[in-house]
Chain A
Amino acid sequence: MSAPTTWARRRRARIDDTAQGRSLGADALRRLRRNPVAITGAVIIAVFVLISVFAPLLAPHGPAEAFPQLLDRLRPGEIPGAQDGFPLGSDQNGRDEFSRMILASRQTLLVGVLATVFGLVFGVLIGVVAGAVGGWADTVLMRVTDVLLSIPSLLLAISVAALAARPSQTTVIIAVALVNVPIFARLLRGSMLAQRESDHVLAATALGVKRPAIVVRHMLPNAIGPVIVQATLTLATAILDAAALSFLGLGDADPARAEWGLMLATAQPYLDVRPALALYPALAIIVVALGFTLFGEALREALDPKGRR
């Protein structure tokens, strides 16, 4: 008999403690901070972002700078390894591999973030229109996204990038963004539709709240959660896709530029001579993608209403 009473009292006490507004977002943040997976992901992301932001300060040398002491020892069947002043050794052109790895992180961050943001913005616009307006606008938009989604994403990105007159960083960003637009659009449309049927939207309508305010204040904030999670996960796939496009020669082919996907591609002929040249960029891509994935999954868990206590 005493058990339910204390339980009820404790429950009431907790409700009272938190009387001061704490939003669901703040709640999610609290849960993220207690989740080791989230912390691991966040640390990887933080290190990666710091390195890329401060890359010019951290890298001892320029990306295109070749060094005589490395070039001297460069011959078929040998690429000099780690030595004084060059912690990761030389690349196949006598340049400092360490500096190139650091500087390349910028390219990766830039492409990943821009491709995701563009994909997100257009995806959200389409998702809101389709989910909130409905009718023929919904039908048309969803048919188009269906078609785009039916093409494997990398194939779609390759086709778009290949359409460009000259391969460049910009075409990579556009191609990867375009792949993600339908994903975001579909996801948001689905949760907007669910919101449209929800009790609180009906209640707001019963109060005479105007349609735009209902969409922006009552539907979108409740529908956007899964899209934010998806965006975090998309950063990972965007980085992988962008690397894949450069690897396939559809990115900016300037050999002086440091970029992990391109570095991976140019290291290929020297795999038996010095496999580390392929290993470094491959590892970097995998670790960064893993960081975003871990964080994204943890975010999904934190925002899941079922986990809320």
Chain B
Amino acid sequence: MTPAGARSGDGPLLDVRDLSVRFTRRGEPDTVAVDGISFDIEPGEVVGLVGESGCGKSVTSLAIMGLLPGRGPKVGGEVRFGGDDLLALSDSALRERRGRDLGMVFQDPLSSLNPVVPVGVQITEALTRHRGMDKKAARTEAITLLERVGIPDPARRVTSYPHQMSGGMRQRALIAIALACRPRLLIADEPTTALDVTIQAQILELLRELVAETGTALMMITHDLGVVAGLCDRVNVLYAGRIVERAERHRLFATPRHPYTHGLIGSIPRLDSDPELELPAIPGSVNDNLPWDTACAFAPRCPREIGRCTEVTPGVETAASRLLRCHNPVPATSA
């Protein structure tokens, strides 16, 4: 271990500082997918990144992993992990960290697996690469891992090809692959969106167990607050490339302060709610967004909008481990 790595015991495991990603295309205005976001993740912590489609969740995760397409995006800021700035690492140094220190689970389990390679081989590939195992040891470990993620008959399943597995089983296999080298941080980008509801719950339960058991930190990306409700220690709410609210999970659900968070929580179906009643959806769409430079991007859709919202960018306020970016937040008492 490098001295820098040794220092990682104190301070956060992942410290994202002012990360921005801007896509430039000739003849078109730039797209700012991620607009200066900062957050951190403690070792073993489960942190949620929540927001609707297109708000920059996937781009954030890809930027952390260094997986954005080579040409095109301009990335700014810092991604400190175990003392190093991942954005400043060379390609080969970064490749050493991927899989070993940072694992990732993607949304679509079928397309994320190589169709022509048996699932077992896709696990052993990582094991031989990062943990220096020989073929036989890696195979034994692969069977153990498949068993651990709840795949029945793992000794037979290691030879299965992805198309021979069900969706839930594939996602379990992907989790086994991502955790094979015991990374310190696992990034899960909408890992349950492509699965049906009962399987979703099982996969979330599995993730919760695994991170608790291995002490792996988890960055959970989702558009569904219901997913973070039972899983995350802290939640970051993202809107149009910026974090608009961050709080410890119970406080966020008990007293959402940002009008956007408030709307999101209001739109989660509850078991005790009258199914005849319409859920209060957030009106409008991201297309109505204002530019952050001169306003609050959410203003056109915001029920609490005041005159200032369309003229002045709301600043970040932090109080008692809560972050808020709003001119007229929901009062703390009304939940």
Interface residues of A (CB under 8 A from B): 12, 15, 18-25, 198-200, 202-210, 213, 217-218, 221-222, 308
Contact = CB atoms under 8 A, between A and B. Distances in A.
A209 B166 contact: no
Contacts of A308: 163
B322 to A, nearest CB: 32
Given A20-B156, A20-B159, A207-B99, A15 B164 contact: yes
Given A200-B114, A207-B103, A217-B114, 6 more contacts: A15-B166, A18-B160, A21-B159, A199-B112, A207-B99, A208-B97
A203 B106 contact: yes
Interface string B97-135: 111101110101001111111100010011001100000
Nearest to A27: B163
B164 A199 contact: no
A31 B275 CA distance: 49
Interface of B: 65, 67, 95-100, 102-104, 106, 108, 111-118, 122, 125-126, 129-130, 153, 156-157, 159-161, 163-166, 174, 177-178
Please report whether the interface of chain A is mostly helix, strand, loop or mixed according to DSSP. helix
Contacts of B115: 24, 200, 222
Contacts of B102: 206
Contacts of A205: 67, 98
B112 A200 contact: yes
Given A21-B164, A23-B161, A198-B111, A206 B129 contact: no
21 contacts: A15-B166, A18-B164, A21-B161, A22-B161, A22-B164, A200-B111, A203-B104, A203-B174, A204-B114, A205-B67, A206-B67, A206-B99, A207-B99, A207-B125, A207-B129, A207-B178, A208-B98, A208-B99, A217-B117, A218-B114, A222-B114
Contacts of B165: 15
- By CB atoms of chain B within 10 A, which of A18, A203, A204, A218 has the most? A203
Contacts, number: 97
Nearest to B62: A202
A209 B126 CA distance: 7
A113 B95 CA distance: 42
A218 B97 CA distance: 20
Contact of A199 (B99, B108, B126, B156): B108
Contacts of A204: 114, 122, 125
A21 B96 contact: no
A139 to B, nearest CB: 14
- By CB atoms of chain A within 10 A, which of B96, B114, B118, B163 has the most? B114
B160 A207 contact: no
Contacts of A209: 99, 125-126, 129
